[in-house]
C-alpha cells in the first residue's frame, strides 16, 4: 500500500519545543529537535509510511501578508531558543534522506496542500498530513484518501481525522471549513470574518446553504437585520476566505520516487546523532531499523 506522510515541520517542531523541558547538548538547546525526532519515530512505527516529506515555512513575506498586512500581526516573535533549533532539525531530517519542501511566498500549509493534491493525482492509496494546526482539517477528503493526523496533547497523543471526525469535532464538514472561517474570522491569524456572525449562526447558514457564495446569492431570503450584517461584512468575508483557504497550486516540482528513499538507520543518521549527542535516539534508530529489515525479509517468503 502506498502511504504518503506529509509533516508540517514548523507546527510539529513548535509543539515539541513547548512540550519538553529545556535540553542542551554540545550544539546548544535541542529539546525541540529531540521531540521532533521522537515524534517522527513514533509516526514511522505507527503509520508505516512508504513515502515521507516535511514542509517548512519560509522567512519571506507570504501572499497573505501581501493582501492583508495585519495577517498574524498580533503573534509574538518566536523564542531565539526555538529558532536556533530549526536548522539543526532540518539537518537531522536530511540525514534520514527525507526531502524538505518550502516555497517563498507561501506557508507550509500551502505546500502540504499542493503535495497532497499531486499525490492524489499520482494515485497514492493514502495521504496522511501530520500537524498540530486545526486549519489543515479543511484538506481532509475521503474520496481523495487525504487524512489529517492531528497532534492533540504534547508529543504523545494524536488522532487521525476523516470527514466524519472533522464533522464531529467542528460541527461542519471539511469542505466548508474555509467558508466557516470566512464568516467567523480567526483571532489567532488576526482576520475579521463577517462582524456580527458567530459560530452558531455560521454553522446554521452553511448547513442550509452550503457555501459562502450561496449564502450571498440567497441574501434576499434573510431577515433585514441579518441581511444587513452580511452585506456590511461581505468585503471582509471575501478577504477572510482568501486568507483561510489553503492553496493547492503552489509552483513546485516533486518526484515522488525521491520521497521513498528515506531510511531510519542510515550511517548519516548515526553521524548526525553523534555530533548532537543523541545516544538514546541513536539506539532507537537501530532498533527501528532492525524491525523494518525483518519485515522486509518476511515479505520475501
- The answer on 203 and 89 residing in a single domain is no
Between β-strands 157-161 and 146-153, what pairing exists: parallel, antiparallel or unpaired?
Answer: antiparallel
Q: What angle do CA 251, 54, 50 make, to 5 degrees?
A: 105
pLDDT (average), residues 252-257: 97
- Is 273 buried (19+), middle (13-18) or exposed (0-12) by CB count in 10 A? buried
- The answer on 238 and 254 residing in a single domain is no
- The answer on 182 and 252 residing in a single domain is no
- The answer on 134 and 85 residing in a single domain is yes
* Averaged confidence pLDDT in the chain: 93
Does 292 reside within a domain?
no
Write down how long the chain is.
301
- The answer on 151 and 273 residing in a single domain is yes
Least confident span in 24-33, 193-202, 241-250, 290-299: 290-299
Residue 74 banded pLDDT, cuts 50, 70, 90: confident
Contact 235, 91 (CB under 8 A): no
- The answer on 149 and 224 residing in a single domain is no
Return all residues near 145 (Cβ < 8 A) that are at least 6 apart: 120, 124, 125, 126, 127
Residue written as cell 498530513?
129
- The answer on 160 and 34 residing in a single domain is yes
pTM, 2 dp: 0.94
Among left, alpha and beta (phi > 0; psi -120 to 50; other), residue 130 is beta
- The answer on 182 and 275 residing in a single domain is no
Whether pLDDT at 251 is above 50 = yes
- The answer on 222 and 97 residing in a single domain is no
- The answer on 110 and 43 residing in a single domain is yes
- The whole domain housing 193 covers 174-244
Whether pLDDT at 223 is above 50 = yes
What pLDDT shows up at residue 296?
58
Residue 300 banded pLDDT, cuts 50, 70, 90: very low
Residue (of 144, 147, 153, 88) closest to 119 by Cα position: 144
119 is written with which cell numbers? 499525490
What pLDDT shows up at residue 293?
65
Whether pLDDT at 39 is above 90 = yes
- The answer on 125 and 261 residing in a single domain is yes
Return all residues near 68 (Cβ < 8 A) that are at least 6 apart: 191, 239, 243
Give the domain CATH number at 25: 3.40.50.1010
pLDDT (average), residues 232-238: 97
Whole-angstrom distance, CA of residue 273 vs CA of residue 271: 6
Contact 269, 40 (CB under 8 A): no
Q: How many domains does the chain have?
A: 2
- Is 69 buried (19+), middle (13-18) or exposed (0-12) by CB count in 10 A? exposed
Contact 58, 103 (CB under 8 A): yes
Whether pLDDT at 121 is above 90 = yes
Whether pLDDT at 301 is above 60 = no
Predicted confidence (pLDDT) per residue in 158-174, tens digit: 899 999 999 999 999 99
pLDDT (average), residues 237-256: 97
Give the domain CATH number at 195: 1.10.150.20
Whether pLDDT at 212 is above 80 = yes
Task: Give the DSSP H/E element, type plus range, for residue 121.
Answer: helix 108-121
Predicted confidence (pLDDT) per residue in 275-299, tens digit: 999 999 999 999 998 887 666 544 5
Predicted confidence (pLDDT) per residue in 172-205, tens digit: 999 999 999 999 999 999 999 999 999 999 999 9
- The answer on 264 and 225 residing in a single domain is no
pLDDT (average), residues 198-224: 95
Amino acid at each position: 500500500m502506498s502511504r504518503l506522510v506529509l509533516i508540517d515541520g514548523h507546527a510539529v517542531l513548535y509543539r515539541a519545543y513547548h512540550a519538553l523541558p529545556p535540553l542542551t547538548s554540545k550544539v546548544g538547546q535541542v529539546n525541540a529537535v529531540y521531540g521532533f525526532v521522537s515524534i517522527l519515530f513514533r509516526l514511522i512505527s505507527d503509520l508505516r509510511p512508504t513515502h515521507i516529506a516535511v514542509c517548512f515555512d519560509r522567512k519571506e513575506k507570504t501572499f497573505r501578508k501581501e493582501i492583508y498586512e495585519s495577517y498574524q500581526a498580533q503573534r509574538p516573535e518566536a523564542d531565539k531558543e526555538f529558532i536556533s533549533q530549526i536548522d539543526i532539525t532540518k539537518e537531522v531530517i536530511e540525514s534520514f534522506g527525507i526531502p524538505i519542501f518550502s516555497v517563498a511566498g507561501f506557508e507550509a500549509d500551502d505546500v502540504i496542500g499542493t503535495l497532497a493534491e499531486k499525490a492524489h493525482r499520482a494515485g497514492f492509496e493514502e495521504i496522511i498530513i501530520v500537524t498540530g494546526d486545526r486549519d489543515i482539517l479543511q484538506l481532509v477528503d475521503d474520496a481523495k484518501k487525504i487524512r489529517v493526523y492531528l497532534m492533540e496533547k504534547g508529543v504523545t497523543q494524536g488522532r487521525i481525522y476523516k470527514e466524519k471526525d472533522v464533522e464531529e469535532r467542528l460541527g461542519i464538514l471539511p469542505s466548508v471549513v474555509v467558508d466557516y472561517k470566512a464568516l467567523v474570522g480567526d483571532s489567532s491569524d488576526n482576520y475579521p470574518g463577517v462582524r456580527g456572525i458567530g459560530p452558531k449562526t455560521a454553522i446554521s447558514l452553511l448547513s442550509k446553504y452550503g457555501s459562502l457564495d450561496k449564502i450571498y446569492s440567497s441574501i434576499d431570503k434573510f431577515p433585514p437585520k441579518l441581511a444587513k450584517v452580511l452585506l456590511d461584512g461581505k468585503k471582509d468575508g471575501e478577504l477572510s476566505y482568501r486568507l483561510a483557504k489553503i492553496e493547492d497550486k503552489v509552483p513546485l516540482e516533486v518526484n515522488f520516487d525521491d520521497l521513498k528513499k528515506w531510511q531510519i538507520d542510515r550511517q548519516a543518521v548515526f553521524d548526525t546523532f553523534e555530533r548532537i549527542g543523541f545516544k538514546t535516539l541513536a539506539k532507537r534508530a537501530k532498533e527501528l531499523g532492525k524491525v523494518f529489515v525483518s519485515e522486509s525479509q518476511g515479505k520475501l517468503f
